Amino acid sequence: MGVDQQELQNVLDQVFAREDTLEACRRRDLGAIITILRKYGVTQGQIAARTDIGQGRLSEYKTGKRVAEETAVFERFATGLDMPSRARQAMGLAPRPQDANASVDSHEDPDIPRDPYEIQLLAGAVGKIRGNVSRRKVLGLAATVGGAATIGGTDVWDRLSYAISKPVAVDEAIVNEIENRSAGFHQLDMVLPGPGLYKSIMAHLGELSTLLNGITDDPKNELRRRLIVVAGESAALAGWWAYDAGDVTAAHHLYKTAERAAEEAEDPAITSCLLAYRSYAPSMKGAHGRARALLGDALEALPRSDSPTVEAWLAARYAEESAALEDARSALTSWRRAEEAFAVADPEDDRVFVRFFDQSRFSSCHISTFANIPGKLDEAEDIASGMISSVGQLDPKRVAIVLGDVATAHLRRGHNYEACRLAKDGLQAVRESEFATWLPKFDSIAKSVSPWRTKEPVRNFLEELALTKRQLASSLH
């Protein structure tokens, strides 16, 4: 009796919805996937018949004698088994064609709420947590956002709604909640794709605008000043997300809003943050002189010792751009300043917009700076080797940043194939985090290795880069 293909597909759909299967997809471990499928009655013969991958080759994947690396193999496997979009994307592939136009949000993780109000609740919950928040922790909190009591009680949210409709009711508790929410959005920036959060932060800014319009313009009103600070920090982050999504016009207007907030609140740290955000655009286009000038202005605007973490971030970025300009002296001077500031910095207790600048990001700046300074390449490579062991503990956006910088360090050393292997893994993280801003880093690597495009490691990386660009283009538009 022939195999009932619909029944087989039902089994495949159920298996590919399992978390252990999705985890194997994220690792691109075909051997583990085949083992799980066999556990649920799907034979290698059935897989071979549907994917046109020989049973002998499937057996080699299962036993570990051979490791699949080429994107074409994963595509054949996924298409043949008609893997659901979530499993395909976990593997680093585009959604199923039949799902591609189903919804503009089809690429999003179904475990993350999509409703702007629910994401605001999630941001408020995350903002109450000290320290870095992992994706796993966020998913756990996301499961509770339907219950206001779990997030912090209905009372504050009822009062916030009332304050928005009748703004005279703004009080300390409401301002605290708004500040927590803003901090939460900045924490989520490192864990979830920015485009999926954009509508929620814009709604958040709308509420802030309503609250501020209802408060008397009194310079001595500390609650009003705190709301203006939150508005500036939130507008800066929204501008960063808009730029990452390719909406330069929206980013410009949001940055202007943040700039006005910084001036009215007399908070130069927000101005420094804006200038640092803006420095990434010219940097990624190779205009390192323009990027360094913006960072110089950012350092000048920031009062010394006002925020050690912000100072460490700005000085480290200035060192990166100086090294890219082959100005070793300025790079090393600025790097020493970054080290001094970071030694006394506490990102978890600093400004919300710089809590991302932890040890992994600091080390990544160290690598990218020293990789461009003559005589410092060995040190950069040593740090890079140490970073590789910790990559598995980082969230996707940090992985993309770290692997992009580590791959570049290997490239400077002439280790082209290792650079391509690391960059290929970094691109998977770029897709998962939808961190389009970092894509030019990988374009630069591709340009350097293009003379060896026929070699397998380089070819695999270039295929991955093309796939990443296609997927980001489909998800962001």
Residue 126 resides in a domain: yes
- In this structure, the number of other CB atoms found within 10 A of the CB of residue 454 comes to 7
- In this structure, the number of other CB atoms found within 10 A of the CB of residue 330 comes to 16
Would you call 162 helix, strand, or coil by DSSP? Answer: helix
pTM: 0.71
Using the Cα atoms of residue 346, residue 350, residue 352 and residue 357 in order, give the sign of their dihedral.
negative
Which range has the worst mean pLDDT, 10-14, 114-118, 458-462?
114-118
- pLDDT, average across residues 295-318: 93
Domain check: are 155 and 257 in the same one? yes
Domain count, the chain: 2
Residue 38 resides in a domain: yes
d(CA 329, CA 340): 17
Element (H, E) at 359: helix 359-370
Angle between helices 308-324 and 328-343 (to 10 degrees): 160
Domain check: are 119 and 238 in the same one? yes
Q: Which two tokens stand for residue 49?
A: 């018949």
d(CA 359, CA 386): 12
Last residue of a domain, one of 99, 127, 160: 99
What distance separates the 2 farthest-apart alpha carbons in the chain?
83
Domain check: are 141 and 235 in the same one? yes
Q: Is the pLDDT of residue 318 over 80?
A: yes
DSSP-assigned letters across all residues of 232-288: HHHHHHHHHHHHHTT-HHHHHHHHHHHHHHHHHHT-HHHHHHHHHHHHHHHHHTT-H
Instruction: Name the DSSP letter for residue 209.
Output: H
> What percentage of the chain has pLDDT greater than the value 70?
86
Which range has the worst mean pLDDT, 144-153, 164-173, 219-228?
144-153
- pLDDT, average across residues 27-54: 90
Q: How far is CA 227 from the centre of its chain?
A: 27
Residue 150: per-residue pLDDT: 39
d(CA 309, CA 305): 9
Binning pLDDT at 50, 70 and 90, where does residue 237 land? Answer: very high
Residues ≥6 apart with Cβ < 8 Å to 456: 69
Domain check: are 160 and 261 in the same one? yes
Residues ≥6 apart with Cβ < 8 Å to 469: 439
Residue 404: per-residue pLDDT: 87
CA-closest candidate to residue 299, choices 310, 289, 288, 291: 310
Residue 104: per-residue pLDDT: 36
Instruction: Name the DSSP letter for residue 94.
Output: P
72 lies in which domain range?
A: 5-99
CA distances from 294 to 220, 338, 368 (A): 32, 17, 19
Residue 270: per-residue pLDDT: 95
Domain check: are 124 and 219 in the same one? yes
Residue 229: per-residue pLDDT: 95
Residue 99: per-residue pLDDT: 56
Residue 271: per-residue pLDDT: 95
- pLDDT, average across residues 216-235: 88
Residue 32: give its domain's CATH number.
1.10.260
Residue 405 resides in a domain: no
Query: Tens of pLDDT along 281-294?
Result: 999 888 999 999 99
Residue 275 resides in a domain: no
Q: pLDDT averaged over the chain? A: 83
Residue 400 near residue 435 (C-beta atoms within 8 A): yes
Residue 61 resides in a domain: yes
Last residue of a domain, one of 217, 238, 266: 266
Residue 348 resides in a domain: no
Q: Is the pLDDT of residue 331 over 90?
A: yes
Q: Which two tokens stand for residue 458?
A: 């380089």
Q: How far is CA 15 from the centre of its chain?
A: 28
Q: Is the pLDDT of residue 69 over 90?
A: no
Residue 390 resides in a domain: no
Phi, psi of 144 (to 5 degrees): -105, 0
b/e 278-309 (16+ beta carbons within 10 angstroms → b):
bbbbbbbeeebebbbbbbbbbbebbeeeebbb
Residue 149: per-residue pLDDT: 36
Q: Is the pLDDT of residue 154 over 60?
A: no
Residue 186 near residue 353 (C-beta atoms within 8 A): yes
Q: Is the pLDDT of residue 109 over 60?
A: no
Binning pLDDT at 50, 70 and 90, where does residue 115 land? Answer: low
Which range has the worst mean pLDDT, 114-118, 180-184, 245-249, 288-292?
114-118
Between 129 and 152, the more confident residue is 129
Q: Is the pLDDT of residue 25 over 80?
A: yes
